[in-house]
Amino acid sequence: MNETPVPAAGCVLWRRSPVDGGLEVCLVHRPKYDDWSHPKGKLKRDEDAVAGALREVEEETGYTAALGSELSTAHYYANGRPKEVRYWAGEAGEGHFTPNHEVDRILWLPPSQARERLTQPRDAELVNELLASLSAP
pLDDT digits (tens, 9 = 90+) for 42-100: 999 999 999 999 999 999 999 999 999 999 999 999 889 999 999 999 999 999 999 99
Average pLDDT, the chain: 96
Which pTM was predicted?
A: 0.94
Vertex 128 angle, CA 86 and 95, to 5°: 65
pLDDT at 2: 65
The values of phi and psi at residue 8, to 5°, are -145, 165
Which of 47, 36, 35 is CA-nearest to residue 6? 47
Q: What percent of the chain has pLDDT over 90?
A: 93
Integer CA distances (angstroms), 98 to 27, 28, 125, in order: 14, 12, 27
